[in-house]
Structure 1
Amino acid sequence: MQLGAGARMESLRFIVIAFMIAILLPQASCQVMQAPAFSGQCPIHMIASQGESESIYHGGTVDRIIVTQYLNLTSALAAVDTGEADVFGHRINATDYGIVGSYSSLRLQWAYDILGCMLVINSRMAPLNDSHLRRAMAFAANKTWITSTAMHGEADPIDFALPLCNEFSIEKNEGGLFYDANLGSAMNELAMAGMLDVDNDSLVEAPNGTEISFTLWYPNDTEGMNETAAIISANLLSSGINNTIVPMEYAVLQDRIQTHNESFSLALYHQTMDEYGFEWIATTFLSSMREVDGENVANIDDSRLNQLAWEYMDNILLDQARAIGLEAVRVVRDLCPIIPLFAYRWLSVYNDARFQGWVNDSLAGAFGPWNPVSITARTGMPNEMRIAVLPAFFDSFFCSLNLFRTGIVINSDWISKRFFNPYLLVYDSSLETTLDGRAVPRLATSWEMLYLGLVPDLNASQCRTQFYIDPNALWTDGVAVDAQDYRFTLECYANSSVTAYSNLLAGVKTLGDYVAGINYDDLDMFSFRLLGALPILPRHVWEGKNPLNWEPNVQDAIGSGPFKVLSFEPNSSLVLTTNSEYYPVLDTEAPKLKSFYVIPGSPTPAETVVLRAYIEDRSRIRNVMLHYTYRVGSANFSYSSEMELGALGYQGTIPARVTATTVNFEINATDIWGNSAIVVSGYYSRPTTTINFWQTLTPYVIVTAVALASVILAFILKSRK
């Protein structure tokens, strides 16, 4: 059968269409072009440390420190006065202040003590349970007169029960003279307490109209207390509060107040305040503490103080601890269970004839740890710092290169407030206290406090101070300092009971080579300050020795501090020389990406994607943030989340979003010192299709096309016949 011309053309059109379908049909399962999972670029930017946070302990600025013994105070002070020595290596006794004034070239360095004198009020006794009466007494007391006359200007008036050396002290901005000889305010408070002079005898009566008179206990064997008691008594009488003073020995008075002797009304009491943080002031006035010796000496029961104590003890964040602690300090000032009168100072002396750049160290004195790394020799002067000491220095403090053999309990006084301390120049501690009371790095680049809930292996009454050891730290024999040195040292402290808190040390947990966590049987948020001040010892030198009786020689005195021992003659002299390899530097480097993984390997917006990053830093990573943006049509939707640290690095998740065409992301890491970096950034997109005709010409397609062409040609030839 022959087809007409129209039928032939229709058939030919059908065959061509079939041929095109045959060619194009395989393209639906062909190659997909997809954007890369992440970019290789990691742009870095720095965030500068704020304010004074760039302070860091550093290497010595003097070539040598020579400690020389003098037979008595007069000869030692004369040596400093003439320039033979630069510093007297002892705290000056208050009874010797007059002697100091006879030397014209001595420079005085006053430092703040943590001991304060307070008027304690028995708040369990009526009418002293009325806060308005207690405030009237606070307004009546003339602190300025007490400090200038009774204490000869050697103490500072305070309103807050927090020492001036505490980094959180608000005395300079809010205190000092809030209460101070304000008779008008005292009378107003008495009126609010309902205490008036109803019989016109110049003395107020109790709200029920009865006569009242309080006893004021005071220690008559303590410098300045006779005068202080007389001033306080006269101040109270001037405001109409009848009282009589009762002298007793210091030890007897302290013991009676601490054991809650309820027969007292008022007492001049001495209290050691919080050098670091707020643990005492924030918790001591909890009502249940009235049954604990040495706590709640005012016997007060107040709902606000109870609530603050509970909040402070339940808190596990340093910023919140600071806020709660400061509120507690202010509430105690306002309720007046105790009336802080003054904080003591102590004195050290030096001569600046041979060196310049002496720091005003109001915490550790002229012989503290900062001057040896701060002063520089004047032109033409030898760069040797000379310390004059008395026989007691070598007899009872630095009697050995082994710090355990001193026989003195290692506490705040041992560290910096009694003697020049060579141990802390030879053996490094984890941190140092700056001139304004803050903690800065020495052996540790950073630290953090951990509690049950943050880590699983603590109980509810424990905390952990986790120190991050400087990976550049070396002992002076070239061996690296590591976490095992921390473990060994803290076990020595705990087993030998040489620290004031040895019984609270509950073991050390090490994480790798450079992280050491010290467990502590207390919930003090600021225990890192106590533990961070302890010198760390080299395990490879001390291991196998009895720390209580081992006598190291100069070659054994391997340390990691800014100085090392050059020579030591017991009961005579000591020479230190600069450790040129001392390592601490301010961490200004941003965190760096070590490795990065995307799961699945070729993600799309329609599926949940897991990002995993391994990040390194010289200090400690504070947080790692994942920022991601969905592109949906012409709109962007941005989100952020903090990545969690696990055994496999920092991990974050980007949820699926089927309507998105593209997802852009970046990971930003910030360390504890504020250095920040975008360690990785990238994007992934929905799959797209493209048509490339020549790429579809596979052998199969070519064979099919040839076959179809043959059929078409045969059909055309046959039609012509």
Structure 2
Amino acid sequence: MTVVTRRRILVFFLVTSLVSMLCQPIPAEHVPLVNDEDKGPYLEQLDLHWTLGDANLVENLLSNEIDMMGDSIHIDSAAALEGAENIEIVKHLRNGYGYMTINCDKYPLNITAFRRAVAFAVDKEEICTDSWDGWAEPLDSLIPKMNPFSIEGDLPYSYYDSDMEMAGSLLDGAGFHDIDSDGFREAPDRSNLDVVVEWLQYTDVSVAICNAFADQLQALKINATAKSGWSDGLTRLYFHGDYDMMFLGESFTDLDITWMADEYWSENANESYYNFPNFRNTTYDSWREQLLYSTEYGEVYEAARQMQEIWIHACPVIVCYENYVPHAYRTDRFSGFVAEPLDSIGGWWTCLRTHLTRSGYGILGGTLRVGLPHTTPQFNIMIATGAASYDFPYLHLMYDSLLRRGPDGNDLSWLAKSYVVETHDDDSSVAEGTTRFTFDIRTDITWTDGSRLTASDIVCALNFYRISPGNPLGQGMSEIYAAYTLSSFRLVVEVSQVSYWGRYAFCFKPILPPSLLEDLAPEDWADWDPQPPEDRMVTSGPFNVSAVESEYLSLRHNPDYFARENFVPPRIESPPDTSITAGSTNHTVSWNCTDSDPFAYAVYRNGSLTAEGDWDGGLIEISLVDLGAGIYNFTCVVEDEVGLISSDTVWVRVESVEDVESSTGVIPPPDWLLPLGPVSLGITAIGLAIIFVVGSKTVKERRSVAMSKQTRLTLDLASN
């Protein structure tokens, strides 16, 4: 018989349960294995501690008052954590970079060979080492490396290291020569060439980089100087005034790349606030329509790739570096922290996947203490979404959306298990110039009030956001002209544009419950002011508010969250009970045990531990040799990494009536009663009670026995 359990079981409960089950076999639980993205949360609770200032965050982490920082800190503050015991520093690439823009409207800077020569001459590796002390890495693409659309590192060349030979060759080939023998090159038209490299903000990094550019230009025999452009530099950039080269920084708030279509579009070369380098390239422009208006990811990625290749070769801008921002966490209690592209370890996936460090008792449970630089939590997610101080996604832990950004930044289906995108070309019933999204949603999602989350709930929320004046969750939804249901678990959203990017207007919006929105007027969205836990918040996400104090906020896991229900105990295919003749050979009992995260096994004979070891998810087999006549029960117990345990018991009868009578004084029951005879039932109850209590402890606590992992485990068992 097979027994599956999710927790340690008290002796009294175990024995009474087993006795009640003696009259019938217990079948194995058959639950399909799921993808890792669908598992969690492992944590029992999150405690968010309001901690002001980097110094306090660092001190609290070192003193074990918090387990992780929910926000980044300054590089100087991170130095105090270097080498500290049980502290891991995460160097997270920021979504942005520092770059040198070049005026492509100005002769001879409009010559591609000149700009490429500058790119090859500058040593980006040296900039990252000297100016950032290793807290940056070189970058060539206009899309940051942490963005899934970036092709950084995919090209057959790079501008990372200084290549003065290549740079000089490009200049020579383009006609930049020292005509008058004054030690400096002239332009191809024989005019003097003087380049001014400006910084906009006086910082050690910007000044050092501008000087490095000027020095490398001088080494190429180009007369160059570096100076401040602070007073009017931005004005000249915004309105396309005169400049040569200017250093500045760029930061992005999301992974959207549609800005590529406008920022460097030839038609915006004279448009205020766009296209600082005045870049014009018809081949680059030719991919613009595909980037903006294709509906398929593959076509969008192709356009993004081609535009990056053209841009990197043309060098209207020389990206210098993508710098790191430090995050940190403790390693002595928890593991599984996820560094997301946007939020590093301070994001949604860390809360779902972080778990107790394996110490013999499973990885479910525990309270993760997070330090955050906030003091006043806001529980109206419609207000918090638009707040500048909103960093840690604690409200998004309470709600779900149709899609979700995966740990690598790519899209994952979430509430939606699948969806179809159609245009007029696919279906004539779709109006020209529009896109229809049809979603089939999961059927196993519930609100915390016990009601089922349905397609109509999602439609209710989306329609509320788009008609609520000024609602931050309604941003970008002006193109949606219809949202409706086709059934309880199918919905349609129609958008008045044809574009892959249309889904981003609504697919990542948190879905609020109809029990709230049906009683809230759209214009009163900002008036909702819940005060949990006194005010019960109906949510669907992996966590909900359990306590609000002046110094911290507690979020307790949602025990009914669909991804938590996917913690599946190991599966054991139960072999049949068997009967053999004493002295016979070549008899075995085999358990086919499977699990996505196998951990350990133990085998018992008549309640006594016979063997234990690491389990790799393969077959566990014992040989029935040298067994004297009698009745034996062999129990296999397996545990997975999560701490979930399954077991199966097989009865073996070794037939020899004389041996049984002399050793036990009991006549074996008829075959049709084995193993359900009175004596066997008693052995079952007592033996399995011992196995589950002692066996569970043995499987969980053993650490000293070093056994080789193998797919097939053969154990030769001798009789006592």
1:96 equivalent among 71, 77, 89: 77
Q: 1:373 aligns with which of 336, 347, 352?
A: 352
1:497 alignment partner in structure 2: 471
Question: Is the contact made by 1:487 and 1:508 (CA closer than 8 Å) also made in structure 2?
Answer: no
Partner of 1:383: 365
Shift of 1:309: 1.8
Deviations 1:70-96 (A, max 9, x none): 455433322222323211222213563
Partner of 1:565: 545
Q: CA separation of 1:108/1:523 partners in 2, compared to 1, >3 Å: closer, same or farther?
A: farther
- Residue 243 (structure 2) aligned to one of 257, 264, 270: 264
8 Å contact 1:565–1:575 — kept in the other structure? yes
**Aligned residue in 2 for 1:292:** 271
1:393 match: secondary structure: coil
1:401 aligned residue? 379
Q: Which runs of 5+ in 1 are unaligned?
A: 1-47, 588-721
Alpha carbons of 1:293 and 1:468: their partners in 2 closer, same or farther (altered >3 Å)?
A: farther
**Equivalent in the alignment of 1:24:** none
Structure 1 distance, partners of 2:56, 2:160, is: 44
1:84 aligns with 2:58: no
Alpha-carbon distance in 1 for matches of 2:148, 2:495: 22
**Is the 8 Å Cα contact of residues 409 and 498 (structure 1) preserved in structure 2?**
no
Over aligned residue pairs, what C-alpha RMSD do you find? 3.3
2:451 equivalent to 1:473: no
Which of 328, 333, 358 aligns to 1:354? It is 333
Distance 2:365 2:556 in 1: 11
**Secondary structure at the residue paired with 1:394?**
coil
> Quick check: 1:187 aligned with 2:168?
yes
Q: How does 1:668-687 map to 2 (within 5 A)?
A: none
Give the direction of change, closer, same or farther, for the CA distance of 1:69–1:450 in structure 2 (3 Å limit).
Answer: same
Which of 429, 432, 437 is the matching residue for 2:409?
437
Greater Cα offset, 278-287 or 338-347:
278-287
Offset, 1:323 = 1.0
Letter in 2 for 1:561: G
Measured at CA, do residues 190 and 467 of structure 1 come closer, stay the same or move farther in structure 2, by a change above 3 Å? farther
297 and 72 in structure 1: CA distance in 2 versus 1, 3 angstrom threshold: closer
Q: After superposition, give the CA deviation of every residue in 1:665-699 in whole Å (9 maximum; x if it has no partner).
A: xxxxxxxxxxxxxxxxxxxxxxxxxxxxxxxxxxx
Maintained 8 Å contact 2:290/2:299: no
C-alpha separation in 1, matches of 2:497 and 2:121: 39
CA spacing shift, 1:369–1:184, aligned 2, 3 Å: same
Matches within 5 A, 1:424-573: 424-451=396-423, 453-454=425-426, 466-494=438-466, 495=468, 496-499=470-473, 501-502=475-476, 504=478, 506-512=480-486, 513-518=488-493, 525-529=500-504, 531-545=506-520, 546-552=524-530, 553-554=532-533, 555-569=535-549, 571-573=550-552
8 Å CA contact 1:56, 1:585 repeated in 2: no
- Secondary structure of the equivalent of 1:171? coil
In structure 2, what is the Cα distance between the partners aligned to 1:522 and 1:271? Answer: 29
Whether contact under 8 Å (2:400, 2:541) holds in the other structure is yes
- Structure 1 segment 295-306 matched on structure 2, within 5 A: 295-306=274-285
SS in 1 for 2:95: strand
- For 2:421 and 2:203, locate their aligned partners in 1 and report how far apart those are by CA, in whole Å: 40
Give yes or no for contact 2:149–2:304 (8 Å, CA) kept in 1: no
One-letter code aligned to 2:303? I
Which residue is equivalent to 1:629?
none
Shift of 1:475: 1.2
How far did 1:145 drift? 1.1
Give 5+ residue unaligned stretches, structure 2.
1-31, 567-720
Residues 321, 549 of structure 1: alpha-carbon distance in 2 compared, 3 angstrom cutoff = same
Identity %: 20
Q: Retained in 2: the 8 A contact 1:405–1:549? A: no
Decide whether the 8 Å contact of 1:360 with 1:435 is kept in 2.
Answer: yes
Name the counterpart of 1:671: none
Whole-angstrom CA distance in 1 between matches of 2:262 and 2:317? 14
Contact in 2 for aligned 1:567/1:574 (Cα 8 Å): yes
Q: CA deviation at 1:520?
A: 5.5
What is the alpha-carbon distance in structure 2 between the residues aligned to residue 455 and residue 568 of structure 1? 51
The Cα of 1:197 is off from its aligned counterpart by: 1.8
1:534-613 alignment, distance < 5 Å:
534-545=509-520, 546-552=524-530, 553-554=532-533, 555-569=535-549, 571-584=550-563
CA distance in 2, matches of 1:256, 1:515: 53
Q: Using a 3 Å threshold, how does the CA distance of structure 1 residues 455 and 561 change in structure 2: closer, same or farther?
A: farther
| Secondary structure in structure 2 of the residue aligned to 1:244 | strand
Equivalent pair of 1:277/1:525 in contact (CA under 8 Å): no
CA drift of 1:152 comes to: 2.3
The whole-number CA distance in structure 2 between the counterparts of 1:109 and 1:505 is 39
SS at structure 1 position matched to 2:525: coil
Q: Aligned partners of 2:245 and 2:210: how far apart in 1? A: 11
| Structure-1 residue corresponding to 2:92 | 111
**AA matched with 2:562:** Y
SS in 1 for 2:396: helix
Bigger radius of gyration among the two = 1
* CA distance 1:557–1:170, change in 2 (3 Å): same
Following the alignment from structure 1 to structure 2, what is the Cα–Cα distance between the partners of residues 460 and 147? 50
| Residue of structure 1 in register with 2:184 after alignment | 203
Partner deviation per Cα, 1:99-122 (whole Å, 9 max, x = no partner): 444855431122222212221111
When residues 58 and 322 of structure 1 are mapped into structure 2, their CA distance, relative to the original with a 3 A threshold, is same
Select which of 55, 69, 88 maps to 1:74. 55
d(CA) in 2 for partners of 1:536 and 1:70?
30
d(CA) in 2 for partners of 1:249, 1:500: 38
How far apart are the structure 2 equivalents of 1:314 and 1:377?
46
Q: Secondary structure at the match of 2:500?
A: coil
CA distance in 2, matches of 1:326, 1:447: 26
- Take 1:344 and 1:586, find their aligned partners in 2: how far apart are those partners? 40
Q: Of 144, 148, 153, which residue of structure 2 is paired with 1:167?
A: 148
Give the deviation of 1:261 after TM superposition.
1.8
User: Structure 1 residues 529, 135: CA separation in 2 closer, same or farther (over 3 Å shift)?
Assistant: same
- 1:384, distance to aligned residue in structure 2 (A): 2.5
- Residue 368 of structure 2 aligns with an amino acid whose one-letter code is R
The 8 Å contact of residues 212 and 242 in structure 1, kept in 2 or not, is answered as yes
Residue correspondences, number:
524
Query: How many angstroms apart in 2 are the aligned matches of 1:200 and 1:539?
Result: 79
Tell me which amino acid in the other structure corresponds to 2:441.
Answer: I
TM-score in terms of structure 1 length: 0.66
Distance in 1 separating the partners of 2:127 and 2:431: 47
> Would you say the 8 A contact 2:49–2:551 is kept in 1?
yes
Distance 1:307 1:478, change over 3 A: same
Give the C-alpha shift of residue 60 in structure 1. Answer: 0.3
- 2:45 is aligned to 64
Deviation per residue, 1:300-322 (Å, 9 max, x gap):
22221121223434533321111
Structure 1 letter corresponding to 2:408: D
Contact 2:459 2:485 in 1 (8 A): no
Residue 527 (structure 1) shift: 4.8
